[in-house]
A = this chain, B = another copy of it.
Amino acid sequence: MDSIKKENQIEGVIIQRLQVISDDRGSVLHMLRNDSSLFENFGEIYFSEINPKIIKAWKLHKNLTQNITVLMGRVRLVLYDNRPSSKTAGEIAEYGIGRDNNHCLVQIPPMLWYGFQSLDNQKALIANCTDQPHNPLESESIPIDSDKIPFQWNSKK
């Protein structure tokens, strides 16, 4: 399962290529198994749509690890590492995630700011398999244009 896996750009973020089993009747898309080296605990599986050209940002989980994959459309994921003790503290990373030729899982550890934008004028659908169930007390949000994060979404569409 874990043949192609790399730690990427931001300390603790892992990208794993996932298998798509093509079939004329409709493909099967892998995401996460309990025998994967990326799996630690099951908290919740839920889905988030992003309407065309919409940005959902910025959010941070204090304790929760996310495992995300894109089922529909194409998504720009932006991460900002504000962890003082991280090797990549202060860094921004961008990832283009979509199904075509790039069906992958992105594991996002706690304490990273993250945001999503749908690309290609298409609605996107993200699956998120977390290690804890949703708890509103555990996350923080700041506005898209917050000056706490050195990134401008709109100038980089």
Partner-B contacts on A (CB < 8 A): 24-35, 42-51, 54-56, 71-72, 118, 123-125, 127, 129, 133-134
CA distance A46 to B71 in the complex (A): 10
Chain copies in complex: 2
CA distance A26 to B126 in the complex (A): 11
CA distance A49 to B30 in the complex (A): 11
**Cβ–Cβ contact B26 & A50, under 8 A:** yes
CA distance A51 to B24 in the complex (A): 8
Residues of B within 8 A of A28 (CB): 46-49
Partner of A26, one of B35, B49, B133: B49
CA distance A129 to B26 in the complex (A): 18
CA distance A24 to B53 in the complex (A): 12
**Cβ–Cβ contact B72 & A133, under 8 A:** no
**How close is A21's CB to chain B, nearest CB, in angstroms?**
9
